[in-house]
Amino acid sequence: MILPELIISLNVMIFITGVIIPLGIEKPLNMLKLPLISSIAAMLLSAVYFFCLHNSDPVLFFGGNFIIDKLAFYHIMIVNIVFLAAGIYMQEYFAKSMETDEHTAFHYRRFSMLWQGFQLMLIIVILSNNIGLSWVAMEATTILSAFLIISESDSLSLEAMWKYLLICSVGIGLAFIGTILVAAGGINTFSELYIHAEELNPKLILFAFIFIAVGYGTKAGLSPMHSWLPDAHSQAPTPVSAVFSGVMLNAALFIIMRYLPIVERAGGGSGEAHSILLLTGFLSLLFAAVFIPIQTDLKRLLAYCSVEHVGIIAIGIGLGGLGTTAALLHCLNHSLSKMLAFFASGSVIHEYGTRDMRKITGLMKRMPMWGTAFMVSMLALMGVAPFSIFISEFLIVKTAFTGGQYLLFGLFMLGTLAIFISMLKFTLEIAFKQGKPGKLTGRVGIADKAIIIISVAVLLLFGLWLPPDFFGFLEQAAQIIEGGLI
């Protein structure tokens, strides 16, 4: 089967040319077109291999170092969608900030190159079957994305970048130790490891998984190693915040998902690995519940909200069964709504000139379009009924309840409720509190309108009616995590 190799090579080539071309471009706006073009190309390619491979078994290629299966495909889709949307949004966003900032072509060139490298590395993370390669690519995302944070170069973003760099490097270092311990047996691909899992030393693998969970969990923003996340997400330029929240956290969780069946199979299904995820998931939820009410910065609020949702995904996977499917669905829902929320807040912050939520009032009247987008995305993030996050959260709660884990159920409800109340208060004040009169000139381009409308539509659609084919696809992907198909 030569096809996947060809497609992946093409994909890599696209990004490599994408990284090289900006060197020859002078106009900043043109440099920013490139990420968009390569995202579209990547999107088309992934569509191609979806049609070729969506019904087949997992495909190994490049000497078994890469794999495409449903789980990987699903995540690739999320990566491509978010990057595409962010690529579109970016055009308007930087065009606006170009009017005021004194950034040189150098900044935009660097941004364009790093952005595409970042996307490529995320795709490699997801397609990798080799545990070492996963690690290398994950570490590379840290390195490449560090400078995306300080595109708006001021002291706070520099501080955020430093924390991101240091904490994530240490986290990834821990994951490295875990990776080595897993590879100690002499096998270093996920698929082989799963096949030979029963021959592995269960204690060793569990011990290694702790390192892996903490390590990649750091990058995923799971508590207690999440402290870089609010800083980096809030200080980065909005498109970067969107891909951090929407994609990078998922990708880090994705590696943990890859390890999960191996650990469980090695341990004879003892469920210890799941418990670790449950624990960190609840810790994250708790942290978010404590810190969200005291926020004043809009983007920090969204960042803590990411901690919450990553926690929820971890809880879903930790619960297993239907919870895993729900968690996968939650990945997409969260990415879409968080992306939209960041886009909206980015525009709002730009127009109001402040990130202090106490100073942003009367949004619905002053910026109707972005206001609506903001309202919808915030409501979705809170888990309000007609939107899709409600469905995924509901499924997770249901899993906990039907599984008889009432304590977990109670804790989950308590945490989400606390977050719901404080976020609702913030959202309502921003949207409807009497503010200064007069509309703001926030332009909304055609592309922006399209993003808003499509995202809202998908969020609503999945909330009201989940296509059975899609759900079936998700269930099959979840089976991989559960240890069924590989």
Partner 1 sequence: MQHNLLILISLLIILSNLFLLGSSRTRAMLRGIAAQGVLLSILPFLFPMHKSGLVSIIVPAVLSITIKAILIPYFLHRVIQRVNTENALNPYIGYPVSVIIGLLISYGSFLFIEKLPFSYLSISPFTTSAAFASILIGMLIISTRRNVIAQIIGYLVFENAGFILGISISSTMPLFIEIGIMLDLLAGIFIMVVAVSRIHILFDSVGTQKLERLNK
Comparing CB distances to partner 1, the nearer of 207 and 420 is 207
Distance (Å, rounded) from C-alpha 86 to C-alpha 465?
26
How far apart are CB 406 and partner 1 at their closest, in Å?
33
- Class of residue 468 by CB neighbours under 10 A (exposed 0-12, middle 13-18, buried 19+): exposed
Nearest to 122 by CA among 139, 136, 146, 141: 141
Neighbours of 177 (CB within 10 A): 15
Amino acid symbol at 41: A
With respect to partner 1, which residue has the nearer C-beta, 266 or 396? 266
| Cβ distance to partner 1 smaller for residue 222 or 458 | 222
Instruction: Report, in Å, the least distance between residue 133 CB and partner 1.
Output: 6
Specify the DSSP class assigned to residue 436. Answer: -
The residue (of 65 and 405) whose beta carbon lies closer to partner 1 is: 65
Cα–Cα dist 9/41, whole Å: 13
Closer residue to partner 1 in complex, CB, 40/204: 204
Nearer to partner 1, 223 or 337 (CB): 223
Nearest approach in angstroms of CB 189 to partner 1 is 10
Q: Which of 185, 483 has the CB closer to partner 1?
A: 185
Q: Which is nearer to partner 1, 132 or 435 (CB)?
A: 132
Q: Which is nearer to partner 1, 36 or 113 (CB)?
A: 113
Q: Which is nearer to partner 1, 232 or 456 (CB)?
A: 232
Cβ–Cβ under 8 Å, residues 75 and 255: no
The string of DSSP letters for 302-342 reads HHHHHHHHHHHHHHHHHH-THHHHHHHHHHHHHHHHHHHHH
We find the least distance from the C-beta atom of residue 415 to partner 1, in angstroms, to be: 19
**Cα 322 from Cα 48, distance rounded (Å):** 29
Nearest alpha carbon to residue 250 among 190, 194, 302, 327: 327
Least Å distance, CB 76 to partner 1, is: 21
Q: Which residues bind partner 1 (CB under 8 A)?
A: 65, 130, 132-133, 135-136, 139-140, 142-143, 146-147, 150, 153-156, 158-163, 165-166, 169-170, 173, 176-177, 180-181, 183-188, 201, 203-204, 206-208, 230-231, 234-235, 291, 294-295, 300
Smallest CA-to-CA distance from 126 within 196, 71, 83, 87 is with 71
Tell me how far, at minimum, the Cβ of 486 lies from partner 1, in Å. Answer: 19
Least CB distance from residue 80 to partner 1, whole Å? 24
What do you get for the CA distance between the two ends of the chain, in Å? 18
> Least distance from C-beta 276 to partner 1, angstroms?
15
Minimum distance from CB of 162 to partner 1 (Å)? 6
CA 121 – CA 105 distance, rounded (Å)? 24
Exposed, middle or buried by CB within 10 Å (0-12, 13-18, 19+), for 161?
Answer: buried
Q: Rank residues 251 and 336 by Cβ distance to partner 1 and give the closer one.
A: 251
The span from the CA of 128 to the CA of 252, in Å, is: 13
Structure tokens at 485: 């198909």
Residues 153, 215: contact at Cβ < 8 Å?
A: no
Tokens of 98: 């170009």
Min CB(167)–partner 1 separation in Å: 9
Minimum separation from the CB atom of position 395 to partner 1 (A): 32
DSSP states of 363-375 as a string?
Answer: HHHHSHHHHHHHH
CA-wise closest residue to 185 among 200, 197, 172? 200
Q: Positive or negative, the Cα torsion across 198, 202, 208, 212?
A: positive
**Cα–Cα distance, 458 to 212 (Å, whole number):** 34
